[in-house]
Structure 1
């Protein structure tokens, strides 16, 4: 037995494995974060598109749809 004890090198292996996993986790988190920021504008529907879908499903009446459409397009003209 040497002065280190029962050290067989596995501690160094598991230590390196831990840091490799940490680095991989950080890289995956960074990649996921970038994908989320790029997809924010693409996956969201506009208010008018949502109103059209709700009207097509029968969730709102024609009068409600026209009121929403008028409200949305009058706000765009003001900007």
Structure 2
């Protein structure tokens, strides 16, 4: 006989908690690797660096540059 059956219930709870923690950890790891906190394009530039490059190339004027810079810093 296998006993009164109480041992499986307690161990089962820990097994569920273990797998939930594993799944949460994997999701967190993927999110950290794939999506960083700040925007970066494929070349690794931040949004502010891209804005500065656009201004330097003459794609946007000073007024538009200043407004977008303020928006990014807020």
* TM superposition score category, shorter chain reference: 0.3 to 0.5
| Structure ranking higher in helix proportion | 1
TM-score, normalization by structure 2: 0.46
TM-score, normalization by structure 1: 0.43
